[in-house]
Amino acid sequence: MQPLNNHTAQPVSRHMRRGALSGVLWAFGLATTLLLVGLWGRAVTADQETLARSTGEVLSADVVTQRVYDWIGDGIAAAAGIPVDDVQPAVEAVRSSPEANRAISALVEDAVAVFMAPPGSEASVDIGGALRPLVPRIVAELAERGVGVSENNVTAALANLDAVEIDTGEAGNAMAVAGAARGVLTIGVLLAFVVLVLAGSLAVALSDDRMAMVRSLGTRLAFSALSFAALFRIGGWVLDPDGGRSPIIRGGATVIGSNLHVFLFVAAVGAAMAGVAGAVWWFLALRAGPLPPADAEEDDPTRELVAV
């Protein structure tokens, strides 16, 4: 008499396949995450409008604005030969005026345009030229405080403010940095896509019901993409709920909350894949009719286990 091992070998093989399937699905999920993040990152680095808006919000920070007004006060004091403490209160009063807001906005726009200029171009920000509309208001504020300074002195002081030269080379230009980041992200996206396809193919091969697995993978992809869209949208809101936090945080929130259409597109692809697989599975099930239980043969107590 010789025992037959087919009955015991099948459950062992099935357990091994299920274990392998769990690992493959984990790899599929990891590749999905890397692919989604990579695609979103590439979209952001190519979105000049978002990058410009975020850069402008960062440059409008109080520390940058304060430095500009310190330069104005020091320049006027040096040009008129008066203590800077007599000039600074007038400059601070001008700071809250509509003219000052417009001048600083124009200055920030010039700086953003320089940062977004093509690599290698010569660019500078003319601080004195941008602030020249403030001359009459500064003179008026100084006169109210008993400090007599002519418009010519204030104009000369602003003209002496050195234009800020900004390096637009490969290391200093925002678009050059974004381009380099986009190249790295492209490699990451390609690798993630390859792993995603391989893991998905292995999952289908290891599954008992291949159409059901394709539908499951499509559903996983769709829900992962929707989850990332919700996460990034909520994350941008949490960083700056009412738009009133620091400009640096507001700039980060602008980037995080942008280009969510990438996730929605991937979600649509996953949903379409799941829908097509589900329709095929349903059609095949109708043609095949009702199937016997998968374990019916294994559970048959009359199965011969021993050969004579």
How far is the C-alpha of 232 from the C-alpha of 255, rounded, in Å? 10
Average pLDDT over residues 123-136: 74
CB 57 within 8 A of CB 251: yes
Q: What is the pLDDT of residue 197?
A: 94
- 164, pLDDT greater than 70: no
Q: What is the pLDDT of residue 256?
A: 86
Length of the chain measured in residues: 308
- 188, pLDDT greater than 70: yes
210-255 confidence digits (pLDDT tens): 888 999 999 999 999 999 999 998 888 887 666 555 667 777 788 8
- Which residues partner with 306 through β-bridges? 3
- Among 22-31, 139-148, 198-207, the least confident range: 139-148
Query: Closest by alpha carbon to 138, among 109, 97, 108, 82?
Result: 97
Structure tokens at 14: 């099935």
Q: What is the pLDDT of residue 101?
A: 78
Q: How far is CA 155 from CA 75, 126, 137, 150, in A?
A: 10, 14, 12, 9
Structure tokens at 231: 């996460």
Structure tokens at 76: 């006027």
Per-residue DSSP letter, 117: S
Average pLDDT over residues 4-30: 73
- Which residues partner with 307 through β-bridges? 2
Average pLDDT over residues 75-80: 75
What integer best gives the mean pLDDT of the chain?
Answer: 76
CB 67 within 8 A of CB 131: no
- 80, pLDDT greater than 80: no
- Better-predicted residue by pLDDT, 29 or 150: 29
Helix (H, G, I), strand (E, B) or coil at 57: helix
| Residue 306 host element (H or E) | strand 306-307
**Which pTM value belongs to this model?**
0.68
- Among 8-17, 118-127, 272-281, 294-303, the least confident range: 294-303
Alpha helices in the chain (DSSP H): 6-46, 48-59, 62-80, 84-95, 98-115, 127-131, 135-144, 151-159, 174-206, 210-239, 247-256, 261-288
Burial grade of 107 (CB within 10 A; 0-12, 13-18, 19 or more): buried
CB 104 within 8 A of CB 60: yes
Q: What is the pLDDT of residue 270?
A: 92
257-287 confidence digits (pLDDT tens): 889 999 999 999 999 998 998 888 787 777 7
- Among 38-42, 139-143, 172-176, 185-189, the least confident range: 172-176
